[in-house]
Amino acid sequence: MGSSTEKPLLPESLPTETPAKRTTPWRKPLFIAISAFVILRFALLPIFFPWLRSDLLSNHYHHHRHDLKSGCEQGQALFPKSLDVSELIPGKEAQIRDWLSGAVKIPTEIFDVMGEIGEDPRWDVFYEFADYLEKSFPLVHKHLTKTRVMTHALVFEWQGSDPSLQPILLTGHQDVVPVLNATRGLWTHDPFGGEYDPETDLIWGRGSSDDKSGTIGALSAIELLLESGKFKPTRTVVLAFGIDEETGGKVGALNLGIWLEEKYGKDSFAILVDEGSGLYEAWGQVFATPAVGEKGYLDVEVKVETLGGHSSVPPPHTGIGLLALAIAQIEKHPHEPYLNPESPLVGLMSCGAEYASDFPLHLKKAVHKVEESLSYGGTVNKKALKEIEDYWVYGSAEDGSLVKGMGRAFVSTTQAVDIVNGGVKVNALPEVVTAIVNHRISLAESVAELQKHLIDTLSPIAKHYNLSLEAFGKDVQLKGCHHQLTDAKAGKLILSEAFHSALDPAPVSPHSVDSAAWRLLSGAVKAVYSTRPDAKDDELEANKDIIMAPLISTGNTDTKRYWNLTRNIYRFAYQVTKGGGLNNVHTVDEHIQGQTFVEQVRWFMHFIVLADEDREL
């Protein structure tokens, strides 16, 4: 600080005289009158007449937004001109259910670590499954070309008469997650019994929903179309069924994608439909929610290496203790939610605001503000976007929406410590201990950003406990280690990618009516929904349209191996899911409703015939 004789950097402000305000006698009464009107109009009136509240505000926003294009413009229901596929269903319902039940009986379990095909006998069950398909779908095997890829992955090609038309691709997987022996007693029905209960109209068993319903559904549709003799494709239809989707598709879908690209070329398919989200009711409205994107993926092995020794002379922290501290540090620093304004989730909320009668009013206002800020070319209204983000993180778990309990996962990178290994004897200090952390990466992030987050999170642990740190093949330089009295390290903390799993988030598929692929998908959904059998029982519901809205997948499907084949990838199953549930997928008592599966087959037939007639794809 300089001497006290220095001049101040800025001159001191001088007092100024404020001129006397001129008053006008009529201003004060006018101000009081206007204030009273505003209070009555927007505060007291809704209190005494609550039925007016939503209408007044809703009309205000609709009037204010009359010049804005809807964020959820809907296409029309589309019906094939050549064939009404609904005529092919009556009398076939039991057969359709039996096809799925029989497939469930074959335990095509896949495990995280599998040996080579031909060496590991656990692959051999897929021979039995292929035999079952050949026996159950004789016309498919007679009229379509079947190719085995990597022995058990299957491609079926139904050749169209016009080679100038890009084919459509329907994909699914034959494999299922294992049933733990310890849980078999918890199942209401044998997990591989494929039992159908006519009283509840439920088909029980592992794979009944995920994903033998998709695989058998597509085959059933083509078998029935062939049996009818009323349809011959002009556009080629290709089916591709993987064998290890539940462990990342590293054998089946990977090689299927290579095979298809070599034969048909890059960007060669008009549209791809794989397993995914379905039909849900939320906010008083039924939505069809194809996943137009899916999160990225990374399994990370966290390893601690320390000196061994006798457990009677232990260090302050064993390798297991240090690993536990690392795990606790990871869980203490979860990834912050972040909703990108370009996210399909914002599009879904636009659909809710536009069409759902029970959509929360405060969210409708926030959605409109975000739409307006983007429509006029300005920066996004961050406060309104944060309100939508908070709904996904907190509110979606409470209001019974279509993603009940899953909201935070949609807008965050998630982390789950699922596997821990270490120690072989009670009186020996473990030299190597490991944990596997499963990550699903937000659409707004990347593998590289996730790796940096883990390094930043675990560096303090390595510093504090005098561990060297190696992360993803590189040594990390740590500064200012605590309690480091010598150059000797207490051990090593190693982060590495597990199972060759790194995957950035998927490209987002087109999901507006400007896209021919989206119009086709939407048109098929709306047409099948409008002619569903149960609509006849309720005239009001029959006249209620289903709304197409984009969603994202929190998990991954085999489509991650097919990005080169088309931009138009949709993860969608025409299945009505009640209460936001997932039919106990991946857990005890997996099931699917028989009528739901029949309708899924009808949708596949409708979609195939409709795509065949479409010349805009």
Binding site residue list: 173, 210, 246, 274, 586
d(CA 227, CA 231): 9
List 245, 445, 599, 614, catalytic entry: 245
Amino acid at 139: L
How many residues in the chain? 617
- Residues with Cβ within 8 Å of residue 26, at least 6 apart in sequence: none
Residues 485 and 482: their CA atoms lie apart, in Å, by 9
DSSP reduced 3-state for 493: strand
Q: Rounded to an integer, what distance in angstroms lies between the CA atom of residue 185 and that of residue 588?
A: 10
Does residue 245 carry a catalytic annotation? Answer: yes
Closest by CA to 104, choosing from 183, 185, 187, is: 187
User: d(Cα 382, Cα 363) in Å, to the nearest integer?
Assistant: 14
Q: Identify residue 528 by its one-letter amino acid code.
A: V
Annotated binding site for Zn(2+), which residues?
173, 210, 246, 274, 586
Q: Which residue has the tokens 């010598």?
A: 486
Distances (CA, A) of 165 to 264, 334, 354, 357: 12, 48, 36, 41
The token duo for 183 is 């849980």
Partnered with residue 467 across adjacent β-strands are 491
Catalytic residue list contains 541:
no
Strand partners, 475: 470
Q: How far is CA 252 from its chain centroid? A: 21
Residues near 440 by Cβ (< 8 Å), separated by ≥ 6? 295, 296, 297, 409, 413, 414, 554, 555, 556
State how far the Cα of 545 lies from the Cα of 92, in Å rounded to an integer.
Answer: 27
What strands, in cross-sheet order, belong to the sheet with 196-197?
A: 196-197, 202-204, 591-593
Measured CA to CA, the distance from residue 164 to residue 236 in angstroms comes to: 10
Q: Are 83 and 231 in contact (CB under 8 A)?
A: yes
Tokens, residue 290: 């194809």
Query: Strand pairing of 196-197 and 202-204?
Result: antiparallel
Nearest-angstrom CA–CA distance, 287 and 265 = 34
Q: What HEC string does 58-102 produce?
A: HHHHHHHCCCCCCCCCCCCCCCCCCCCHHHHCCCCHHHHHHHHHH
The phi, psi pair for 95, rounded to 5°, reads: -60, -45
The one catalytic residue among 175, 281, 305, 599: 175
Whether the bond into 211 is cis, omega within 30 of 0: yes
* C-alpha torsion sign, points 278, 283, 285, 291: negative
Nearest alpha carbon to residue 433 among 309, 333, 301, 315: 301
Asked whether the beta carbons of 238 and 165 are under 8 A apart, the reply is no
- Burial class from Cβ neighbours inside 10 Å (0-12, 13-18, 19+) for residue 497 reads middle
Per the rule left: phi > 0, alpha: psi between -120 and 50, beta: everything else, 461 is: alpha
Question: Would you please indicate which residues are annotated as catalytic (active-site) residues?
Answer: 175, 245
